[in-house]
Amino acid sequence: GAVVSQHPSWVICKSGTSVKIECRSLDFQATTMFWYRQFPKQSLMLMATSNEGSKATYEQGVEKDKFLINHASLTLSTLTVTSAHPEDSSFYICSARTYRGNTEAFFGQGTRLTVV
Amino acid sequence: AQKITQTQPGMFVQEKEAVTLDCTYDTSDQSYGLFWYKQPSSGEMIFLIYQGSYDEQNATEGRYSLNFQKARKSANLVISASQLGDSAMYFCAMRFDNAGNMLTFGGGTRLMVKP
C-alpha cells in the first residue's frame, strides 16, 4: 500500500519555540493532506486540510497563525507549531489520500510533541 | 450534523474468541464511506477495513468483518479468533463524500485481549 512518512516521531521543545513536523507521501502524489491532533485517551480531531499550492483550510477553533501549514509540493506538507506552549503538547498525525482508489486514507506514524 | 459514536470505551475479550465493537453514525448524506482503524500504543493508525454506503455486501478482510446495517446506521467491527496482538484502540471513522474527503472519527474503543 501507499506509504506516508512523518518526521519527527517525537520532539521535546521549550515553551516559546517553534516546531516543524513533516509529512511526506513516499510513493504517490497527494494533492490533499490532512492534519489531526490527538490528546491523551481521546480521539483524532481534524485540525486542517492541506491543499498543494493553496492555503490550508482550518477547522473551527484552530488558530491558523499558530499552526502554520505549508503544502509546497505534491509529496510534502509541513505543520509548524509556532510559539509552542505546554497546552500544545499532543500527538499530531497526518494523512494523505491517494486517488488510486477511494477506499483508504494513509496515515503517517504520528509525532508526539511535548512542550516544557 | 454528522456524528460518529462508539459507545464502548473499553472491552475485554478472551483470546481466540470473537468480539464485536460497536459504531453508529448520524448523517443525512447518501454517499459516504466507513472505516475502521487500529491504533496500538505506538500511535500509528493501521487501516483495517472499509465499507462504502452503496456496497450491498458486508466487507471482510481476514479476521475482520464489518456488520453494516444501513437502515440502523451502524457499522460494527467483528474480530474473529482474537489474538493478544489485537489489544489496542479501535476507531470507527467516516468519510462524507460531500465534505472534502477528510475522516471524522468516533471516540474509540480500547480492546484488551486476555490470555
Tens-place pLDDT, residues B23-53: 999 988 888 999 999 999 999 999 999 999 9
pLDDT tens for B54-66 read: 998 999 999 999 9
Residue to test with chain B: of A92, A107, A113, most B Cβ within 10 A: A107
Q: Under a CB-based contact definition with an 8 Å cutoff, are residues A6 and A22 in contact?
A: yes
* More confident of the two residues A2 and A109: A109
Residue A28: per-residue pLDDT: 82
> What is the torsional sign of CA A35, A38, A42, A47?
negative
Distances (CA, A) of A98 to A4, A29, A66: 10, 7, 28
DSSP A21-61: EEEEESSS--SEEEEEEE-TTS-EEEEEEEETTS--EEPTT
Distances (CA, A) of A10 to A23, A30, A34, A71, B39: 13, 24, 19, 21, 17
Say if residue A61's pLDDT is above 80: yes
* More confident of the two residues A88 and B100: A88
- Residues B76-87 have a mean pLDDT of 98
Q: Rounded distance, CA B12 to CA B87, Å?
A: 9
Say if residue B20's pLDDT is above 90: yes
Residue to test with chain A: of B103, B104, B109, B110, most A Cβ within 10 A: B103
Residue A69: per-residue pLDDT: 94
* More confident of the two residues A116 and B56: A116
Q: Count CB pairs under 8 A between chains A and B.
A: 54
Q: Which of A77-91, A96-110, B68-82 has the lowest mean pLDDT?
A: A96-110
pLDDT band, residue B1 (cuts 50/70/90): low
Cα B17–B22–B84 angle (5° rounding)? 35
| CB-CB neighbors (< 8 A) of B100 in chain A | 32, 49, 57
pLDDT tens for A30-50 read: 888 999 999 998 999 999 998
Residue A99: per-residue pLDDT: 61
Task: Tell me the shortest Cα–Cα distance from A71 to chain B, in angstroms.
Answer: 16
- Residues A97-113 have a mean pLDDT of 78
**What does the DSSP 8-state code read for residue B9?**
S
Say if residue B67's pLDDT is above 60: yes
Residue A98: per-residue pLDDT: 66
Residue A16: per-residue pLDDT: 97
Say if residue A105's pLDDT is above 90: no
Please give the grid coordinates belonging to residue B101: 474527503
Residue A52: per-residue pLDDT: 83
pLDDT band, residue A14 (cuts 50/70/90): very high
What is the residue-averaged pLDDT of chain A? Answer: 91
